Each structure stands twice: as structure tokens, then as C-alpha cells.
């Protein structure tokens, strides 16, 4: 990034003249104001995103006189007389316009929050060098973080950004499934017009700012809040727990709801809100929170699982004995006897830490009261769940709450829980004025959910031939101060901790334990990635003891269509795990040979290793109903309105659901008008989590599409084989060589305002689990296996991943580009989890200290798509969102063991831990 030299500005007038996207502007602003803020708030150029306000994420990258800079680090006064280019202006140049198209064609934008920064940084490179090398591209975007894509498609898009072959695919009617259709919401993401949580604000909106506990546990009392309000001109109100008119208790799983909007007398974690200030934005933002009248008394806190479980430990919630939120259990066969009789056994203990979601878009939104109703526009993964909890908090009916999801700049599970919505609702409700709230990066990190830290102990046994006979697994998950998704993690992990293998004797016991730390919640996989780290390393140990190739061990034990899972479920069809392992086999054998050859010739500190790991993951809720409803309507203009409430958080559900519906109906995608995720106009498609939208909402869309086709056929009295052409203002029926045209304009409209409406609901068929966890928890599982080639610097302890090969059984790849995007993004998050990501509450609450992978950390990813169709999923499709992250970390950790013979018990494998383990193993060898 270039450095902008300071220039003298006219502080006295505050008028700063410069040019933006070729247009001269004059802004009245303090010269020290951040350029990012001036662009967004004064000039309405919200394409420039703010992810950190600290120079760490690069989302705010703009060009100043052609050089890329972080607009959050540039003062407005520094750009007087200069030319600024933002994402909105990129299309004015051929290079920028082609690059935008290349991002679309290659699927380089997922959530889109990083996309403006990426495009701007890449444009600066291509303006200088239209045929850059890959390493030059990596350097150019090295300062821009992306949490979704894994960077590979971005690099590809930039490398081919000036090619002439950037055409989009427009499949014919009935031929959309399986095609690399460009994401339907993609254009808004590359031209900067997408609306995220912080990008829209009603005129005159007040700002909301939370006051949060600086201590892990503290009692507090307020001073004179009325006095505080009257002493500060521009502050309209201070809200506290007393201002919650309904039930001050919410949570994503209603039976476990336990979180208040504001702590009442004691804050249970650092970052918990105790009050909110509402007032004029410039006053609220400038306020020093230290002047807020609250007195804290820090109290001893339970900082880890051991402290929380210690005999006599104080209970964080009075009704939860021993600080155990919930227990999970799956038991099958006689594990103790099987382990006692096993010819070969192995055991291990593994620990993982908090992982921060680090999406590029911090939480944001606005709210307004409309009579006796409330409307909230915010980034969320779960509009209907939000609606229900906000109604409870306000003490009004759910129908009086409208949730309008914005584009979501990454969620990965954390935006399933409420954040800004509670404060916005209360402020708008009480003041009857529009209000806006935007979390800072630090606020986002300290107050929103994390991946559960896990402590896992396990023991497994097999025969001398390598056949698994038993696994005994126990895990405690640190669920923090409130329940959030702790019950789901506790329930899901025991079902999955066997991995995708036949294990006849099995016991998995889990507990979610409360501590005085930030709540842990949903993060891509609901605890299964942590369990896979343990189980897949243990299986490597078993294979080694048997003296068997580690991949062959997995192939030998892989589930098939007719073997029962650890819950006794026999799937009958669609179990593609063996095919995933088999697909890796030739690459595994070649990579093992290459690594061995490298190591036998190694003279320096570098050693190479290859690791493999398998994965399975049930799509949708565990043994619970989780329906989606989709409605479509034939309009008089011949177009199809698709109402689907699934929130696209970057994974591509807007596009995939439309592809499925289009083929079920037999209409081209271009005929669809998409209406997404607004509780006032779309039916409930459940939450975007648990890899359920392609499967569940996709199936509902399939059913609705087929139903509409049948209704049209019935209306025009055509045969079932007829082809329907959707044209401007009419439909044409082709059958038996004849064409009949039906004008739609004169047909009556139904109560939904359509000529014909079809609506379908799909709820995956599952069965409750019994007391031993036996039953049918999921209708469909996705399967996969990853192989990692790595290189270890044994002197520095650093690990470089050279390549990841990822085979996934997705049933049917509805859109291969989007599936690959999920896999590559999952690999990047898995790599981060394995090697660098660990959040310590109270430390490093920013994107400078909390490291996520950058473009330079991500190796080439080869995706192998296996299509073993699900008998239930739409066109055979299964989920891929969470599946993609699970096997990467264990594959890397197994490769680490392969390279240097160490097993780290505490993850991530940071250089200090790796180096210490290498030294310890060398000393052991010497003693040995």
C-alpha cells in the first residue's frame, strides 16, 4: 500500500475538494476525518467497506492517484486535490470492468464484503502490469482479508482478468442444475451497490452505542442516568434492563434461552452489555465511555473448564448444576468389553481453543417503529428466529416484528445469534425514532459468539487386520456465559465423533460447560471440526500400530450404504465416503513418494509430510423439525416470482435455490424475480446453518416448482409432457408438435397477486434419538476427505501447506463453481484452525493480533466432486457448507506427524508449539 504524504488543508473552512471516480467534489469535513467515513457517510459511496478501521483488513482499499491505500487510515485532508477511485468507479476503465466480470465468471465474490477492496487492489496491479505472475497477484492482495473464498478464485479471477473469455453461462430452460451459473446477486457485489448492514440508514437516525463490561465478571451499579442524559446535549436516552418491556431473556434454542439484553446486576463475561446510549451520531460517537456513570466491582471469574467443574465452584446460572449446561450421549454396543478385547488400541487427548469468526463485516443495522410495529434491517442468518426473540423482548406479537435481512458480509454461524437487533429494537420502540448501530471490530470480537474450545479424550481399538471395533470418546466444550448453540454442539458431536466409519461399539459423551467467557455458539460445523481433529489423528495412530497405510485403513473402515452408523441408521443409498477416499488414492500414493524422496535428500531444516482425514456431516437440525417453505407465483408479465426466505450469506443459496426451482418448473433462470429473506414477504426457510439450505430449502423450491408446473398444465389443459415457454406477457405450450399461446394479462389474480401461486414445505424426515442416542438424526449426510501436503521448517516450527486435495460427495453439484467456492473457503478456515487461530478473551481483540489466513497462506486446492445422489435431496444434492471445513485441520495435523513425528495435544499448531514439540521429541530420542 502506498503512503499518502500529509498536505496542508484549510482547517478553518473544513472544505476539502478532491475528485472521486472522475467527479469533482467538495466536502465539509474535519481534515482529520477518515477518508473511508467521508466516502461512505458524506458521499454515499458505501461500496467502500469498513471491516476494522485500523488498517488490518483492507476492505476499505481505494485508489488515491492510482495507488491503493486503506481509506480508514487516510485523513480526508490528505486527499485534497487528488483523484480517488472507489469500487463504484472501477467500471469506468476497461481494466476495472473486465476484472469485475472476471470476478463474476470465476465465482471470486462470495459474501462480497472484501470484494470492493480486492477489486481495487487488483485494479492497481493490472493498471501497471496486465500479465502479472501469481506471486505478484498474491502480493497485490496480500493486505486484503477474505474470510469466505480461500482466495484461490480471487487469484484466478485476477490472473485471467483481462482475457476475452469471460462470458457468462445462460442455460436453457430445464438445464440449469449442474451449470456454472454466475451468482444471481453477484453484480451488486462487484459494482459496490450491495447493501450490507452498515450501508443504509434512514434520514435523521440516532446512533446506539452499548456500554459493556470491561471485566470477565463484575457487579455494577449505575450513577444518576437521568442526570447524565440531561447533562449531555444530543443524548436522547440511556437504556438499561429496566427498559425491556417484554421478557428479558432470549436465545437461539428456546428451552435453553438465558441471555438478557442487558446484564441486570452482574456481568457474566467481558463484553456483556449493561446499558446503551442513544443520541445524535456525532455526540454518541465522540462520547468517552469512561464518563458513563457506572461503577464496576470486579469479581472472581471462572476462566476455564477446570475452574467451572471444580467441586464447590460457584454456579454461573443458579439452575444449572455444576455449571453443566447440557450433556450429549450416543452409546452403541459394549465399548468397554470391545476395547478390552481389542488386539490393537490407541488413545489420545486433544484440546482446541476459541476461534473467532472474523467475518469482514461487523454487525450492523437500523430499526424504526411503525405505529405498533417494529422494523429491523440488519445482517442476520436467521430472520424468523430474530423475529421471534425480538417479539418476546418487546412483549409484542411476532407479526408486529418485521426483519429485513441485508446482505451478510460473512456469518459462518455467529450471525444466527442476535447482536445489534436487541438494542435497535428497544431504542426505536421507546424513542419512536429511527436508530442505527454499527459494531466496531473490537465490539464484534468481544461480544459475539466463538467456536467452542474443546477438550477431548478418546480411545479406539481395532483388529490386527485394521478393522475398527470400538471408540470411546468424551469431550467437554467451553460454552461461555450463555447457552447460545451449546446444546446443539453437545448433541451433534456424539453423533459424528466416530467419523464416517463403521464402529460397532461406541460411546460418546459430551458436556457443554459454562464459564465467565464470551458465549461460544455456532461456527461452521457445530463442534464436529473439533471432534474430527481428535478422531482422525487417533485413527492415524491406530493405522500406524497395525502397520497399515493410513488411507487404506480409512477405506477398509468406511461406511457404506448398508452398514449402520453409530446411531443405528442405515442409509441404504448415497453414502459416498469410500468414493472420496478412493479418489484421493493415486494422489496420496504419489504425494507420499514425493515427500519421502524430499526427506531422504533433505540437508536443511525442511521436512515434508502428507496427511489425510475423512468427514461426514448431517444436513439440518439434529432429530428436530426444520422445515423450509417456498412460494412461487406466475405473474401476468410471464415472469416467475420466487419467494424464498433463505438468507444468502455468501454461500450462494440465492442462485442455487433458483437453479433448482427453475429446472423443476422448466423455466429459464432469466424468467425469475427473486424475493429473498424478508419476514414480511417471504415464507420461513429457517436459518442459514447446518448445511441445510441447498438440501431443505432447495427441496422446497423443487417441490414448489413442480407444483406450479402441474398447475399451469392443469390450467391450460395440456398433457404432462408439454413444454411451457415463459414469454413476455404470455406462456406458450408446446405439445405433440403444436404450439398454443395463452395471454396472461386478462387472467384473474389470486390472493397473493399472482395468476397462479404454488407453495411447498419440506421438512427432512428424521426420527428422535432414544436415551442412548439411537435413531435417525439426519435425513442426509455429506461426506468428504481431504489430503494435505505440507512442509515444516524444523528450526522455526513453521508449517507451510503446499497443497490440499479435497474430495467431497455432494450428491449433485447444483452449481460446481459455488461448490468449489465452499470447499476452498472451508479449507482456508480449516487451515487457520490448524495452524494459527486461537482467541484469548481479553487479549488481541482485533484483526491485527487475531490472525486469519491471508492470500499467501493458502495453497492450491484441488476439488474433486463426487456425486453419489441422495434419494431425498433436490436432484440428489447434499450440503457442503460445513462439510468443507471439517477434514482440513486433521489432515494438516496428520501431515505434521508424518513429516516430523510429533502429535500436538493443543491446537493450533503455532510455531512455538511445533518447535517445542520437535525439541521434546528430539530430546526423547536422545534419551531414548
**Closest approach of ligand FES to the CB of residue 261, in Å:** 28
For position 56 contacting ligand FES by CB under 6 A, the verdict is yes
Please provide the distance, in angstroms rounded to a whole number, between the alpha carbons at the two ends of the chain.
Answer: 52
For position 112 contacting ligand FES by CB under 6 A, the verdict is yes
Of positions 98, 106, 147, 436, contacts ligand FES by CB under 6 A: 147
**Closest approach of ligand FES to the CB of residue 409, in Å:** 6
Q: x/- binding map, residues 149-178, to ligand FES, per CB under 6 A?
A: x-----------------------------
For position 918 contacting ligand FES by CB under 6 A, the verdict is no
User: How far apart, in whole angstroms, are the C-alpha atoms of residue 442 and residue 732?
Assistant: 57
Q: Measure Cα distances from 850 to 72, 88, 445, 670, 846 in Å.
A: 19, 30, 10, 43, 6
Residue 560, Cβ neighbours under 10 Å: how many? 12
For position 518 contacting ligand FES by CB under 6 A, the verdict is no
**Closest approach of ligand FES to the CB of residue 8, in Å:** 24
User: How far apart, in whole angstroms, are the C-alpha atoms of residue 888 and residue 612?
Assistant: 8
Q: Answer whether 458's CB lies under 8 Å from 471's CB.
A: yes
Q: Which of residues 610-649 bind ligand FES (CB under 6 A)?
A: none
Q: x/- binding map, residues 334-373, to ligand FES, per CB under 6 A?
A: --------------------------x-------------
For ligand FES, the closer CB: 409 or 686: 409
For ligand FES, the closer CB: 147 or 270: 147
For position 58 contacting ligand FES by CB under 6 A, the verdict is yes
Cα of 778 vs its chain's centroid, Å: 21
Q: What letters, b where the CB count within 10 A reaches 16 and e where it falls short, cover 563-598?
A: eebbbebebeebbbbbbbbbbbbebbeebbeebeee
Stretch that binds ligand FES, among 50-58, 121-129, 689-697, 726-734 (CB under 6 A): 50-58
For ligand FES, the closer CB: 410 or 620: 410
**Closest approach of ligand FES to the CB of residue 150, in Å:** 9
Q: x/- binding map, residues 59-98, to ligand FES, per CB under 6 A?
A: xx---------x-x--------------------------
Cα dihedral across residues 258, 259, 262, 266: positive or negative? positive
**Closest approach of ligand FES to the CB of residue 669, in Å:** 22
For position 394 contacting ligand FES by CB under 6 A, the verdict is no
Beta strand segments in 552-655, E: 606-618, 628-634, 640-644
Q: Answer whether 586's CB lies under 8 Å from 596's CB.
A: no
For ligand FES, the closer CB: 744 or 852: 852
For position 109 contacting ligand FES by CB under 6 A, the verdict is yes
For ligand FES, the closer CB: 225 or 438: 438
For position 113 contacting ligand FES by CB under 6 A, the verdict is yes
Q: Residues in contact with ligand FES, total (CB under 6 A)?
A: 26
User: How far apart, in whole angstroms, are the C-alpha atoms of residue 265 and residue 446?
Assistant: 20
For ligand FES, the closer CB: 37 or 455: 37
**Closest approach of ligand FES to the CB of residue 535, in Å:** 30
User: How far apart, in whole angstroms, are the C-alpha atoms of residue 834 and residue 739?
Assistant: 60
DSSP codes joined into one string, 267-328 = E-STT-EEEEEEE-HHHHHH--GGGS-EEEEE-----SHHHHHSTTPPPSSTTSGGGEEEEE
Site of grid cell 442524559: 229
For position 53 contacting ligand FES by CB under 6 A, the verdict is yes
For ligand FES, the closer CB: 118 or 704: 118
User: How far apart, in whole angstroms, are the C-alpha atoms of residue 223 and residue 595?
Assistant: 66
**Closest approach of ligand FES to the CB of residue 673, in Å:** 25
Stretch that binds ligand FES, among 111-119, 484-492, 744-752, 789-797 (CB under 6 A): 111-119
Stretch that binds ligand FES, among 55-63, 394-402, 748-756, 883-891 (CB under 6 A): 55-63
Site of grid cell 421438512: 763
Cis ω for the linkage preceding 727 (within 30 of 0): no
**Closest approach of ligand FES to the CB of residue 880, in Å:** 16
User: How far apart, in whole angstroms, are the C-alpha atoms of residue 436 and residue 167?
Assistant: 40
Q: Answer whether 451's CB lies under 8 Å from 396's CB.
A: no
Stretch that binds ligand FES, among 87-95, 141-149, 415-423, 513-521 (CB under 6 A): 141-149
Q: Which of residues 234-263 bind ligand FES (CB under 6 A)?
A: none
Question: Coil, strand or helix: which one is 631?
Answer: strand
Q: Which of residues 401-420 bind ligand FES (CB under 6 A)?
A: 410
Query: Taking Cα atoms as reference points, which of 631, 633, 632, 636 lies closest to residue 747?
Result: 636
Backbone angles phi, psi at 921, to 5 degrees: -70, -35
The three cell numbers locating residue 44: 454515499
**Closest approach of ligand FES to the CB of residue 310, in Å:** 41
For ligand FES, the closer CB: 113 or 481: 113
For position 386 contacting ligand FES by CB under 6 A, the verdict is no
- Spatial neighbors of 328 by CB under 8 A, at least 6 apart, are 490, 491, 492, 493, 494, 508, 509, 510, 511, 773
**Closest approach of ligand FES to the CB of residue 126, in Å:** 19
For position 146 contacting ligand FES by CB under 6 A, the verdict is yes
For ligand FES, the closer CB: 143 or 499: 143
DSSP codes joined into one string, 741-786 = EEE-TTSPP-TTSSSEEEEEEE--------TTS-S---S-EEEEEE
The three cell numbers locating residue 358: 472474523
Q: Answer whether 419's CB lies under 8 Å from 489's CB.
A: no
For ligand FES, the closer CB: 70 or 660: 70
Q: Which of residues 866-885 bind ligand FES (CB under 6 A)?
A: none
Stretch that binds ligand FES, among 110-118, 134-142, 729-737, 856-864 (CB under 6 A): 110-118
For ligand FES, the closer CB: 3 or 562: 3
Of positions 14, 55, 142, 214, contacts ligand FES by CB under 6 A: 55
For ligand FES, the closer CB: 515 or 651: 651
For position 797 contacting ligand FES by CB under 6 A, the verdict is no
For position 664 contacting ligand FES by CB under 6 A, the verdict is no
- Which element (helix H / strand E) includes 910? none
**Closest approach of ligand FES to the CB of residue 403, in Å:** 22
**Closest approach of ligand FES to the CB of residue 118, in Å:** 7
For position 826 contacting ligand FES by CB under 6 A, the verdict is no
Stretch that binds ligand FES, among 106-114, 331-339, 595-603, 667-675 (CB under 6 A): 106-114
DSSP codes joined into one string, 507-541 = EEEEEEEE-SSPPB---SSTTHHHHHHHHHHHHHH
For ligand FES, the closer CB: 196 or 215: 196
Query: Taking Cα atoms as reference points, which of 262, 522, 520, 524 lies closest to residue 416?
Result: 522
User: How far apart, in whole angstroms, are the C-alpha atoms of residue 178 and residue 814?
Assistant: 4
Q: Answer whether 649's CB lies under 8 Å from 411's CB.
A: yes
For position 855 contacting ligand FES by CB under 6 A, the verdict is no
Stretch that binds ligand FES, among 45-53, 284-292, 693-701, 892-900 (CB under 6 A): 45-53
Query: Taking Cα atoms as reference points, which of 406, 362, 361 lies closest to residue 383?
Result: 406
Query: Taking Cα atoms as reference points, which of 474, 476, 473 lies closest to residue 454?
Result: 476
For ligand FES, the closer CB: 357 or 505: 357
Q: Which residues bind ligand FES (CB under 6 A)?
A: 50-53, 55-60, 70, 72, 109-115, 146-149, 360, 410, 650
Amino acid at each position: 500500500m502506498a503512503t499518502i504524504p500529509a498536505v496542508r488543508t484549510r482547517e478553518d473552512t473544513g472544505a476539502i475538494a478532491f475528485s472521486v471516480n472522475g467527479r469533482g467534489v467538495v466536502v465539509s469535513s474535519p481534515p482529520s476525518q477518515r477518508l473511508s467515513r467521508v466516502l461512505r457517510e458524506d458521499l454515499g459511496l458505501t461500496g467502500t467497506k469498513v471491516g476494522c478501521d485500523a488498517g488490518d483488513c483492507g476492505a476499505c482499499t481505494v485508489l488515491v492517484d492510482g495507488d491503493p491505500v486503506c481509506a480508514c487510515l487516510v485523513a480526508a485532508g490528505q486527499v485534497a486535490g487528488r483523484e480517488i477511485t472507489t469500487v463504484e468507479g472501477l467500471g469506468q476503465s476497461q481494466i476495472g470492468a473486465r476484472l469485475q466480470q472476471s470476478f463474476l465468471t470465476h465465482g471470486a465474490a462470495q459474501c462480497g464484503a472484501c470484494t470492493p477492496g480486492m477489486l481495487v487492489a487488483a485494479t492497481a496491479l493490472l493498471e501497471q502490469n496486465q500479465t502479472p505472475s501469481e506471486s505478484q497477484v498474491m502480493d497485490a492482495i496480500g493486505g486484503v482479508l477474505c474470510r469466505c473464498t480461500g482466495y484461490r478464485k480471487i487469484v484466478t479471477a485476477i490472473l485471467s482478468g483481462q482475457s476475452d473469455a469471460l462470458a457468462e453461462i445462460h442455460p436453457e430452460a430445464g438445464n440449469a442444475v449442474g451449470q456454472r451459473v454466475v451468482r444471481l446477486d453477484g453484480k451488486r457485489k462487484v459494482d459496490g451497490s450491495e447493501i450490507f448492514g452498515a450501508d443504509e440508514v434512514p434520514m435523521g437516525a440516532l446512533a446506539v452505542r452499548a456500554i459493556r463490561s470491561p471485566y470477565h465478571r463484575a457487579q455494577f451499579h449505575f450513577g444518576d442516568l437521568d442526570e447524565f442524559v440531561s447533562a449531555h446535549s444530543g443524548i436522547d436516552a440511556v437504556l438499561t434492563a429496566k427498559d425491556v418491556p417484554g421478557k428479558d431473556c432470549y436465545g437461539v434454542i428456546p428451552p435453553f434461552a438465558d441471555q438478557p439484553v442487558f446484564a441486570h446486576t452482574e456481568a457474566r463475561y467481558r463484553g456483556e452489555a449493561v446499558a446503551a446510549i442513544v443520541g445524535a451520531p456525532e455526540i454518541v460517537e465522540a462520547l468517552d465511555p469512561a464518563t458513563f456513570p457506572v461503577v464496576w466491582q470486579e469479581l472472581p471469574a471462572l476462566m476455564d473448564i477446570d475452574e467451572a467443574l471444580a467441586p464447590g465452584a460457584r454456579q454461573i446460572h443458579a439452575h444449572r448444576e455444576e455449571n453443566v449446561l447440557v450433556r450429549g450421549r450416543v452409546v452403541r454396543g459394549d465399548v468397554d468389553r470391545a476395547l478390552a478385547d481389542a488386539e490393537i488400541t490407541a488413545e489420545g487427548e486433544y484440546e482446541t481453543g476459541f476461534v473467532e469468526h472474523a467475518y469482514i463485516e461487523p454487525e450492523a443495522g437500523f430499526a424504526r417503529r411503525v405505529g405498533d410495529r417494529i422494523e429491523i434491517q440488519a445482517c442476520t442468518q436467521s430472520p424468523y428466529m430474530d423475529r421471534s426473540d425480538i417479539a418476546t423482548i418487546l412483549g409484542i406479537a411476532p407479526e408486529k416484528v418485521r426483519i429485513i435481512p441485508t446482505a451478510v458480509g460473512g456469518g459462518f454461524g455467529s450471525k444466527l445469534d442476535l447482536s445489534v437487533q436487541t438494542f435497535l429494537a428497544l431504542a426505536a420502540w421507546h424513542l419512536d425514532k429511527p436508530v442505527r448501530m454499527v459494531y466496531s471490530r473490537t465490539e464484534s470480537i468481544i461480544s459475539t459468539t466463538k467456536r467452542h474450545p474443546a477438550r477431548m479424550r478418546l480411545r479406539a481399538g481395532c483388529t490386527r487386520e485394521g478393522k475398527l471395533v470400538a471408540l470411546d470418546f468424551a469431550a467437554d466444550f467451553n460454552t461461555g456465559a450463555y447457552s447460545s448453540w451449546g446444546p446443539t454442539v453437545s448433541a451433534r458431536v456424539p453423533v459424528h465423533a466416530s467419523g464416517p466409519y463403521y464402529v460397532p461399539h461406541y460411546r460418546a459423551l459430551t458436556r457443554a460447560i459454562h464459564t465467565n467467557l464470551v458465549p461460544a455458539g455456532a461456527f461452521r460445523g457445530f463442534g464436529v471440526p473439533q471432534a474430527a481433529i481428535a478422531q482422525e489423528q487417533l485413527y492415524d495412530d491406530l493405522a500406524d500400530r497395525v502397520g497399515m497405510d493410513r488411507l487404506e485403513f480409512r477405506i477398509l473402515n468406511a461406511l457404506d450404504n448398508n452398514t449402520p452408523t453409530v446411531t443405528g441408521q442405515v442409509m441404504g443409498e448415497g453414502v459416498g465416503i469410500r468414493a472420496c477416499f478412493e479418489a484421493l488414492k493415486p494422489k496420496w500414493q504419489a504425494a507420499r513418494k514425493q515427500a519421502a524422496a524430499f526427506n531422504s535428500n533433505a540437508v536443511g531444516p525442511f521436512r515434508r509430510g502428507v496427511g489425510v482425514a475423512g468427514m461426514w456431516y448431517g444436513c439440518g437440525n439434529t432429530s428436530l423439525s426444520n422445515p423450509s417453505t417456498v412460494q412461487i407465483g406466475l405473474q401476468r408479465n410471464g415472469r416467475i416470482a420466487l419467494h424464498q426466505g433463505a438468507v444468502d450469506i455468501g454461500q450462494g443459496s440465492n442462485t442455487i435455490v433458483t437453479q433448482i426451482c427453475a429446472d423443476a418448473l422448466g423455466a429459464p433462470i432469466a424468467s425469475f424475480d427473486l424475493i429473498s429473506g424478508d419476514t414480511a414477504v417471504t415464507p420461513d426457510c429457517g436459518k442459514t446453518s447446518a448445511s441445510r439450505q441447498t438440501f431443505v430449502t432447495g427441496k422446497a423450491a423443487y417441490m414448489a416448482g413442480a407444483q406450479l408446473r402441474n398447475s399451469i398444465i392443469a390450467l391450460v389443459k395440456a398433457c404432462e409432457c408439454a413444454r411451457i415457454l415463459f414469454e413476455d406477457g404470455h406462456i406458450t405450450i408446446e405439445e405433440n408438435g403444436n404450439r398454443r399461446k395463452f395471454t396472461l394479462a386478462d387472467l384473474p389474480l389470486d390472493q397473493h397477486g399472482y395468476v397462479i401461486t404454488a407453495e411447498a414445505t419440506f421438512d427432512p424426515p428424521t426420527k428422535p434419538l432414544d436415551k442412548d442416542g439411537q435413531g435417525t438424526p439426519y435425513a442426509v449426510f455429506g461426506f468428504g476427505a481431504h489430503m494435505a501436503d505440507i512442509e515444516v521448517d524444523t528450526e522455526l516450527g513453521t508449517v507451510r501447506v503446499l497443497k490440499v486435495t479435497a474430495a467431497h460427495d455432494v450428491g449433485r453439484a447444483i452449481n460446481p463453481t459455488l461448490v468449489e467456492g465452499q470447499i476452498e473457503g472451508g479449507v482456508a478456515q480449516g487451515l487457520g484452525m490448524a495452524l494459527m487461530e486461537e482467541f484469548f478473551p481479553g487479549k488481541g481483540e482485533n484483526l491485527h493480533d487475531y490472525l486469519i489466513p491471508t492470500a499467501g497462506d493458502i495453497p492450491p486446492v484441488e476439488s474433486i466432486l463426487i456425486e453419489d445422489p441422495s434419494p431425498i435431496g433436490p436432484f440428489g444434492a447434499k450440503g457442503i457448507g460445513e462439510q468443507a471445513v471439517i477434514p482440513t485441520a486433521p489432515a494438516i495435523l496428520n501431515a505434521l506427524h508424518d513429516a516430523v513425528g510429533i502429535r500436538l495435544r493443543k491446537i493450533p499448531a503455532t510455531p512455538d508449539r511445533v518447535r517445542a514439540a520437535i525439541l521434546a521429541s528430539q530430546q526423547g530420542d536422545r534419551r531414548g
